[in-house]
Amino acid sequence: MYDKKRILVTGGAGFIGSHLCRRLLKAKHEVVCVDNYFTGSRSNISSLMPDPLFEAIRHDITSPLHLEVDEIYNLACPASPVHYQADPVQTTKVSVQGAINMLGLAKRHKAKILQASTSEVYGDPEMHPQPESYLGRVNPIGPRACYDEGKRCAETLFFDYHRQHQLVIKVARIFNTYGPGMRVDDGRVVSNFIVQALGGKPITIYGDGSQTRSFCYVDDLVDGLIRLMGTPDHEAGPINLGNPGEFTMLELAELVIRLTGSRSRIEFRPLPQDDPTRRRPDITRARVSLGWEPRVNLTDGLKDTIAWFRRQIDQRPVRIVEPVLAFG
């Protein structure tokens, strides 16, 4: 018999969260989306509103939440440096106090809970690619620390609740993710490059363009999250979820120019403080434990993403937010 669950998705109106809500509804689960709409948008979930299995609640998880649920996906936190650096104290609060509140909710109802952690816990890594065993190199007092250290502390809390209260937890370390549904003005590298190219503006690269990232299409990422939640209770993670294909910023910019047919030129600017020089996941554990690996290559994923951005730009004026390269 089908095991229908009531599932809470915090940050459910965000980029990844809205895709996850859609997939869970397609599987006929009851989905409760919680979001304070700081970076999430009602437009991301508007098509889900008529579904009787879907419920949206405006709430900030730094305050306690009282619901009866079977599973929790904790995705609530701004992921773009432009947004998490805008209010760094609140970013730390949502990562830490938000995690405490969601862990308390899971403990009360004996619910499984998944933490959307990030590749940023590795900081500017000395080991490449990054396996889950790597402890990272993070500047605890830099401008990115509110996010990096906030997520690291959240992982600590999850594993302490697991050890102290036998809570069933799952921790996913999410690497750069892109796809339809990204904010047009979020300032992250994929969205910035596409918006600049479509507008015929110069494409801004910070540094010399040799720094690398690995880009995972959102559908692949959501599949990984759902697979991780479905693993046996003793398999807590952490597990890297990302695409191991590695591209320099210059390669990404040139690919976006080619796929958009743009005449944009490339401009180089100083690299922001603490921006990682290399980022690539070792997904051996995901392959073995989840039977998961990305299916969508960067070219195909960018084609879909560019088509989505074209539609958004046709509908409204766009303000490009700078500077930013990395995101988790």
Kindly report the three-state secondary structure assignment for every residue of 90-148. HHHHHHHHHHHHHHHHHHHHCCEEEEEEEHHHHECCCCCCECCCCCCECCCCCCCHHHH
Q: Are residues 182 and 115 in the same domain?
A: no
DSSP SS3 for 57:
strand
Q: Are residues 208 and 235 in the same domain?
A: no
Q: Which domain holds residue 115?
A: 6-177+217-241
Instruction: Return the CATH number at 235.
Output: 3.40.50.720
Q: Which residue do the tokens 């597990």 mark?
A: 239
Q: Are residues 260 and 304 in the same domain?
A: yes
Q: How many other CB atoms sit within 10 Å of the CB of residue 137?
A: 12
Q: Are residues 79 and 89 in the same domain?
A: yes
Residue 178 known to be catalytic: no
Q: Are residues 234 and 96 in the same domain?
A: yes
Average the pLDDT over 168-179 and give the result. Answer: 97
Average the pLDDT over 100-116 and give the result. Answer: 98
**Structurally, how many domains does the chain consist of?**
2
Instruction: Return the CATH number at 272.
Output: 3.90.25.10
**Torsion sign across C-alpha atoms 219, 154, 184, 47:** positive
Angle (CA) 85-89-92 rounded to 5° is 90
Query: pLDDT band at 139, cuts 50/70/90?
Result: very high
Q: Are residues 39 and 170 in the same domain?
A: yes
37-83 per-position pLDDT tens digit: 999 999 999 999 999 999 999 999 999 999 999 999 999 998 878 88
Q: What is the pLDDT of residue 1?
A: 42
Does a structural domain hold residue 288?
A: no
**Alpha carbons 305 and 313: distance in angstroms, whole number:** 12
3-27 per-position pLDDT tens digit: 899 999 999 999 999 999 999 999 9
Give the predicted TM-score (pTM) of the model. 0.92
Q: Are residues 166 and 256 in the same domain?
A: no
233-284 per-position pLDDT tens digit: 999 999 999 999 999 999 999 999 999 999 999 999 987 776 778 889 999 9
218-238 per-position pLDDT tens digit: 999 999 999 999 999 999 999
Q: What is the pLDDT of residue 328?
A: 40
User: Can you read off the two tokens belonging to residue 172?
Assistant: 């996913």
Taking CA atoms, 58 is separated from 53, 98, 108, 233, in Å, by 17, 15, 22, 30
Average the pLDDT over 186-207 and give the result. Answer: 92
Alpha-carbon 211 to chain mean position: 20
Q: Are residues 93 and 115 in the same domain?
A: yes
**Alpha carbons 215 and 193: distance in angstroms, whole number:** 14
What's the DSSP call for residue 171?
A: E
Q: Are residues 138 and 36 in the same domain?
A: yes
Q: Which of 88, 190, 97 is nearest to 147 (CA)?
A: 88
Does a structural domain hold residue 100?
A: yes
Does a structural domain hold residue 324?
A: no
Q: Are residues 191 and 233 in the same domain?
A: no
Q: Of 73, 84, 122, 147, which one is the catalytic site residue?
A: 147
